[in-house]
A and B are shown apart, each in its own frame.
Chain A
Amino acid sequence: MKKQRIALFGAVVATALALAACGSGAGDASPAAAGKSDAIIQVGSLYEPQNLDNTAGGGQGVTEAFNGNVYEGLFKLTDDGKVEPLLAANHTVSADGLTYTFTLRDGVTFHSGKALTSADVKYSIEKVLAPDSKSARKSSFPEIKQIATPDPKTVTVTLAARSISFVYNLSYVWIVNDQAGSLQAKEDGTGPYKLDGWKRGSSLTLTKNPSYWGTPATNGGVVFHYFTDGSALDNALLTNAVDVVTSEQNPDALAQFTDNPAYKVTDGHSTTKLLLAFNDRVAPFNDVKVRKAVSAAIDDKKLLQSIWGDHGSLIGSMVPPSDPWHTDLTGVNAYNVDEAKKLLADAGHAGGFTFTLDTPNYDPHPTVAAFVKSELAKVGITVDINVITADQWYTKVYQNKDFAATLQEHVNDRDVVWYGDPSFYWGYDNPQVTAWIKQAEQAPSEAEQTDLLKKADRQIAEDAASDWLYLYPQIVVASTKLSGYPVNGLNSQFFAYGIQKG
């Protein structure tokens, strides 16, 4: 849904820009910044918020614009994947791992002027867990028995079962003013920026919060400019209308920036994985040999190269390198056509078989489907490509589980845990893996959690639970005048408060 663009536009723009790149240099600066600390940073993005509330379906866009900038959590997930305290000054965990006590930082006020208290924290956590919450993180939260607020500076949360990811999950919970009411078109956060205006379909303006409790932003404000067409976004960067693009999604456009000294292209760590997900419940993909054969028959390296050139990386399982429990498993079920043929013969499919591949209609899925089809034809498997909309995918594949195999991008970090849920759409059911993942969540230490998830990760790779085709690149393109911007875009966050221009 997010990358729908008219193919013809792309082709024409690519041609026009290729010509343009020959003639034009960086051009001169847009209205000169008066000084470093009050420069306004112009950010270009493809992800406009749906609304301004991340528990009401605000989506990826509101996370990008607001996480850490306008709203803050008790904890924050840094750009390099570490969880650090933010509004929590410190916290303690009871010996049984069930009771968390958080002490709030002093002197924190909301943009409306109200002081932060424990009641706001309780309200904010309950907002994520409420029945009408649309938070994608709701299901990953542990069962909470009680949230108590013994005094204005202290919050005590009692869990029904141990949950080692609890603090990590809290980094997604915005602490909002419990008196603010609906936050779908306004904000009341504690962050270094305040919302100045949102022009829907176009831009969102943040200004510096003069009474911020922490280190103030190094710039005067941020304007997020929203585009639906990747080429129009690239044009904006080329004409200095924006200073930085949070996530470049147009592989063909990269050359004009890499070859230009006025721009810097940074490859960060992405958490977006492209999957060929089998329906592990039904034949033929309920047979592990068939899944392994398909995985071995597809040359992932060639696929990645053809789509992203030298960007992006190969993965052997669901865990990206930025997760703490990553192991390099690219050697498991690696590309080997002879092995694939042998596995198919062992599974009783020496003559191949036919299956339908449900393919979302937006980039890069149709291209990938065509590649998979041609690769699998070499081992005798016929692929019928069935192109569907994002919406149809959600109903047919995700909800009704009515599919043989599908292509899909999975964006979040730490989402290997879905392989521990046999009711998830891909239907992978290995009781040992389910147990490991459950134990990992209840592990008393991160070392044990890591150990268990590493085991689970290796097992799903050996079972070829899905075929992990590649890890997307996370590419930030910025003017060389800019520094201090985040490059990993972890979980779509884009902390703007450290950016300097000039």
Chain B
Amino acid sequence: MTRYLVRRAALLVGTLLLASIVLFVLLRLLPGDPANALLSVGATPDQVAAARHQIGTDRPLPAQFGHWLGQLATLHFGTSFVSSLPVGPEIVSRLAVTVPLTLAAFVLAVVVAVPVGFVAAHRSHTWYGAVVGVVSQLGIAVPAFWLGLLLVWVFALHLRVLPAGGFPPYGWSTPGDAMRALVLPVVTVALVMAASLIRYVRSATLDVLGSDHLRTARALGSSFVGAMWRHGVRNAAVPVVSVLGIELATTFLGAVVIESVFALPGLGSMLVRGIAQHDYPVIQGVLFVSTFAVLIVGFLADVAQRLIDPRLRTGRL
């Protein structure tokens, strides 16, 4: 297991490095001059040249890349072209919105999806199974932003029980307000996530329920619950965990849309602003952190699968 962990971690670092190169090159291929975002109509050519020099885009590309890698190695993300403020602290403050949003939605989705999916599989031939099937299919079809707007309309504009958007000026130092601000976004993301999770849990459970070994266990006298617990859940969990990893990563990246609907100061809105302003350090910083998060989640999912399934441990990687 230790050798596996080391190899898997080395792969993670390698992927990250590769991603950073791709990121850097792709950004530079975009048309447009970041100096433009700094200035407005009325700027003189001298001001444009000075702006380029200040942000360093007048230097050769390899030098710019080396500079960025050097900063990354010391865990710095550089300073924003537009604001001249360091990118790192802003990413940290925005993670304080995006990470709780993603994790809370994830937990809520799992808490809803696992029992609902399990029971839907167990009772697949009853009205309950059919309703779950239809509703979860609907949930997959509905775009997250639309659901978000619907929830805003009902709970903020009509019932007035929750804020329509925004985040309190003092952030988590007013925890009550911060949590209230996250309720609707969390529910939105969780419902959409739960819809697809339910289907995975249901089909994984159905596979297990129809399997020979479970039937054998029952024939040898195990109760349904006992058989499921000893021989069913573990088997059903393997595919579900890998889907969970992908879902978590997707949610993290998909926060862009939800943050815009709810006017949340998260990583997604920072990325959108960075792209609009050609602010390379901001885009690079956010995408690097996102890539890292996605790879870590993938890593954890892989490790979890090996812990659950001993066959993966003995087999070759």
**Given the contacts A136-B41, A232-B262, A391-B36, A17 and B167 also touching, CB distance less than 8 Å:** no
B157 touches A202 (CB 8 A): no
Which of the residues A138, A395, A408 comes within 8 Å of B33, measured between beta carbons? A395
Interface of A is mostly: mixed
Q: A197 CA to B41 CA in the complex, in Å?
A: 30
Interface membership of B90, Cβ < 8 A: yes
Q: A190 CA to B145 CA in the complex, in Å?
A: 44
Which of the residues A24, A51, A136, A391 comes within 8 Å of B84, measured between beta carbons? A51
B153 touches A202 (CB 8 A): no
CB distance from B194 to the nearest CB of A (A): 22
Q: A394 CA to B38 CA in the complex, in Å?
A: 11
Interface membership of B146, Cβ < 8 A: yes
B37 neighbours in A (Cβ, 8 Å): 1, 391
B42 touches A139 (CB 8 A): yes
0/1 interface trace, chain B 258-284, chain A, CB 8 Å (1 if under):
001111111001101100111000000
How many A-B residue contacts, CB cutoff 8 Å? 169
Which of the residues A9, A239, A392 comes within 8 Å of B160, measured between beta carbons? A239
B153 touches A228 (CB 8 A): no
B 44-90 contacts with A by CB, 8 A: 44-48, 50-51, 54, 82-85, 90
Q: Which residue of A lies closest to B143 (CB)?
A: A8
Q: A229 CA to B152 CA in the complex, in Å?
A: 14
A197 neighbours in B (Cβ, 8 Å): 169-170
A140 neighbours in B (Cβ, 8 Å): 42
0/1 interface trace, chain B 157-180, chain A, CB 8 Å (1 if under):
110100111111111000000000
CB distance from B228 to the nearest CB of A (A): 43
Interface membership of A125, Cβ < 8 A: no
Interface membership of B304, Cβ < 8 A: no
A391 touches B165 (CB 8 A): no
Q: Which residue of A lies closest to B41 (CB)?
A: A398
Interface membership of B312, Cβ < 8 A: no
- Place the interface of chain B in its size category: 35 or more
Which of the residues A51, A223, A390, A412 comes within 8 Å of B85, measured between beta carbons? A51
A239 touches B163 (CB 8 A): yes
Which residue, A9, A197, A203, A235, has most C-beta atoms of chain B within 10 A?
Answer: A235
Which residue, B36, B54, B90, has most C-beta atoms of chain A within 10 A?
Answer: B36
- Place the interface of chain A in its size category: 35 or more
CB distance from B53 to the nearest CB of A (A): 9
A57 touches B261 (CB 8 A): no
Segment of A69-77, A95-103, A127-135 engaged in the interface with chain B: A127-135
Interface membership of B107, Cβ < 8 A: no
Interface membership of B111, Cβ < 8 A: no
B169 touches A202 (CB 8 A): yes
**Given the contacts A391-B37, A398-B41, A201 and B94 also touching, CB distance less than 8 Å:** yes
A399 neighbours in B (Cβ, 8 Å): 45, 48
B93 touches A132 (CB 8 A): no
A408 neighbours in B (Cβ, 8 Å): 41
Interface membership of A410, Cβ < 8 A: yes
Q: A167 CA to B37 CA in the complex, in Å?
A: 29
Interface membership of A148, Cβ < 8 A: no
**Given the contacts A138-B44, A239-B156, A199 and B265 also touching, CB distance less than 8 Å:** yes
Q: A422 CA to B36 CA in the complex, in Å?
A: 22
Which of the residues A134, A392, A398 comes within 8 Å of B32, measured between beta carbons? A392
Please give 17 more A-B residue pairs, beta carbons under 8 A apart, in addition to A133-B47, A235-B152: A6-B145, A16-B149, A16-B152, A17-B153, A51-B85, A57-B84, A136-B40, A136-B43, A138-B44, A139-B43, A184-B83, A184-B84, A201-B269, A205-B170, A227-B263, A390-B36, A399-B45
User: Which residues of B are interface residues toward A (Cβ below 8 A)?
Assistant: 31-33, 36-48, 50-51, 54, 82-85, 90, 93-94, 145-146, 149-150, 152-153, 156-158, 160, 163-171, 260-266, 269-270, 272-273, 276-278
12 contacts between A and B (CB under 8 A): A13-B149, A20-B158, A24-B158, A59-B40, A136-B42, A137-B42, A139-B42, A199-B265, A205-B169, A228-B263, A238-B164, A395-B32
